[in-house]
A and B are shown apart, each in its own frame.
Chain A
Amino acid sequence: MNISVIKYILLFILLILLQEFVFDNIQVGTLLTPYVYILFILILPFSYAPSVVVILSFLLGLSVDFFTTDILGLHAFACTVIGYFRGFVFKALKPKDDTEQKIATTTIYTMGWRPFLLYVTILVLMHHSCLFILETFKLYNPLYLLIHILLNSLVSITFIILIELAFFRNPRSQS
């Protein structure tokens, strides 16, 4: 088996455990919780077929549902959506000179700051919109919902960037 596959399986399990036992207990303000586990979907290599990414996203969401919510399918839905649209967002943002598909995974170092921030922001907003709209299905308070989505996205993006900075090394500085 490929070493990178094992690495991603371990990351999958690690992120679910972190989400369940660490990040779900962090509460910024009153209702804001960082959803950091979607980092897995963001950094999956682009050599994987889109259908594989969609299936993996669904499984990731389902596992998080299983551990943290009473409603199965909530995170699964949101994850499937970003798993599918990930490729399109990336295609729109990737640098023009990347004709030979040099970018294997999306990190700050391979993509550069601006495109990476945009990439994360768009996908996190997409994920959180799905999540909160589905969760508050019966509560009709659109303005509050919008503020909730925006603020929570800000918290999640901050945590995702911090994790990227802490754990992903710059390949150029290594050599």
Chain B
Amino acid sequence: MNTLFRFIVRYHTLLLFLLLLGLSIVLMVRTTNYQQSKVMGVVSSTRAWAYERIDDLTTYLSLKKENERLQEENTLLRNQLNHYLAVDTLYTIKQYDTIKRTDYIYKSARIVNTSTNKVKNRLVINVGQDQNVGPDMGVISSDGVVGVVTKTSDSYAVVLPIINPESHTSCRLVRSNAEGMLSWDAVNYREALLTGVPQHIDVQVGDTIVTSSNSNIYPPNILVGTVKSYEVRSGNLYEIKVSLSVDYKRLRNVYVVKSDSYAEIDSLLNGSER
């Protein structure tokens, strides 16, 4: 017993060091598992609240640019609307399609916190359960696809952006109609990798990449980015470097997309797995 005490006293710094290392490892393992849960903890909500207060202060700095962007988007939407209004002026009978529902509902939100310098990046937006925002809803902006909602609290939500290795988005090359999977390699926050496109498909630098209709989180044909470079990797598949259309550092206003069919498709898929 005496020797044990002497051992502890002698090596107390080393023992303390090992204990604290163990504690940090336990914390790391626990929080990464905790991330799987869909609800944000009290700590994260408080943090999100603090982020929003800070963002309230800094938002004025980028007000002018943001207004210009919204103006641009308005012009685009107005032109599209004009197109729809101009179609079929002779045929004036209105028909309401009662069977088909509106597929997607958009909700505007503001980003209160962004990280682009980590490996596991994430965004925080100022809508949550109170605004009927839940996990697995897509987030897009006027520039293109942003990410997926992963966790929510009463009035905030955490978004998993494309620039996180855990994020996988199914995409389509517009010109060749080939489908691929977009993921991030943690190198550059303006670039991502598109994999799974077979070698026989004609890919060119500058090709536009949009969301595929396979993804039931995002609406189809939302801009993702353009092909920056490509090379053949792992046998006969391309590895395409995509420059993302969204600049996460400048992003402020986004839309949360609620897909009406998502829950149905999801339950169908999960049911068939069993």
Q: Per a CB cutoff under 8 Å, which of B24, B31, B186 touches A77?
A: B24
- A69–B47 Cα gap in the complex (Å)? 11
Q: Which residues of chain B have C-beta atoms less than 8 A from A141's C-beta?
A: 185
Tell whether, in the assembled complex, residue B31 and residue A55 are in contact, meaning their CB atoms are under 8 Å apart: no
- Which of A27-35, A115-123, A167-175 lies at the binding interface? A27-35
Q: Smallest CB–CB gap between A20 and chain B, Å?
A: 10
Task: Say which size band chain A's interface belongs to.
Answer: 35 or more
- Which of B15-23, B168-176, B265-273 lies at the binding interface? B15-23
- A67–B113 Cα gap in the complex (Å)? 12
Q: Per a CB cutoff under 8 Å, which of A31, A74, A83 touches B28?
A: A74
- Which of A2-10, A37-45, A99-107, A130-138 lies at the binding interface? A130-138
Q: Smallest CB–CB gap between A27 and chain B, Å?
A: 5
Tell whether, in the assembled complex, residue A27 and residue B118 are in contact, meaning their CB atoms are under 8 Å apart: no
Q: Which residues of chain A have C-beta atoms less than 8 A from B116's C-beta?
A: 27
Does B25 interact with chain A (Cβ within 8 Å)? Answer: yes
- A74–B12 Cα gap in the complex (Å)? 23
Number of interface residues, chain B, beta carbon within 8 A: 35
Tell whether, in the assembled complex, residue B28 and residue A77 are in contact, meaning their CB atoms are under 8 Å apart: yes
Q: A71-B120, A72-B27, A72-B31 are in contact. Are A51 and B186 (CB under 8 A)?
A: no
Q: Which residue of B lies closest to A50 (CB)?
A: B13
Tell whether, in the assembled complex, residue A70 and residue B187 are in contact, meaning their CB atoms are under 8 Å apart: no
Does B119 interact with chain A (Cβ within 8 Å)? Answer: yes
Q: Which residue of A lies closest to B190 (CB)?
A: A30
Does B198 interact with chain A (Cβ within 8 Å)? Answer: no
Q: Which residue of B lies closest to A29 (CB)?
A: B188
Does A76 interact with chain B (Cβ within 8 Å)? Answer: yes
Q: Smallest CB–CB gap between B26 and chain A, Å?
A: 7
Tell whether, in the assembled complex, residue B20 and residue A73 are in contact, meaning their CB atoms are under 8 Å apart: no
Does A80 interact with chain B (Cβ within 8 Å)? Answer: yes
Interface residues of A in 156-173 (CB under 8 A from B): none
Tell whether, in the assembled complex, residue B20 and residue A58 are in contact, meaning their CB atoms are under 8 Å apart: yes
Tell whether, in the assembled complex, residue B27 and residue A73 are in contact, meaning their CB atoms are under 8 Å apart: yes
- A68–B119 Cα gap in the complex (Å)? 12
Tell whether, in the assembled complex, residue B24 and residue A24 are in contact, meaning their CB atoms are under 8 Å apart: no
Does A46 interact with chain B (Cβ within 8 Å)? Answer: no
Q: Smallest CB–CB gap between B207 and chain A, Å?
A: 23
Tell whether, in the assembled complex, residue B16 and residue A71 are in contact, meaning their CB atoms are under 8 Å apart: no
Select the residue from A51, A54, A66, A83 with max chain B CB neighbours within 10 A. A54
Tell whether, in the assembled complex, residue B188 and residue A30 are in contact, meaning their CB atoms are under 8 Å apart: yes
Tell whether, in the assembled complex, residue A30 and residue B187 are in contact, meaning their CB atoms are under 8 Å apart: yes
Q: Which residue of A lies closest to B120 (CB)?
A: A70
- A81–B12 Cα gap in the complex (Å)? 15
Q: List 11 A-B residue pairs with CB atoms under 8 Å apart, sorted by A's residue number.
A: A33-B117, A49-B13, A50-B13, A54-B16, A55-B16, A69-B118, A69-B120, A77-B28, A80-B20, A136-B119, A138-B165
7 further A-B contacts with Cβ under 8 Å, apart from A77-B24, A135-B119, are: A21-B54, A51-B16, A54-B20, A73-B27, A73-B28, A84-B14, A141-B185
A residues at B contact (CB < 8 Å)? 21, 24, 27, 30-33, 49-51, 54-55, 58, 61-62, 66-74, 76-77, 80-81, 83-84, 134-136, 138-139, 141, 144
6 tightest Cβ-Cβ pairs between the two chains A and B: A73-B27, A73-B28, A73-B24, A77-B24, A76-B24, A84-B17
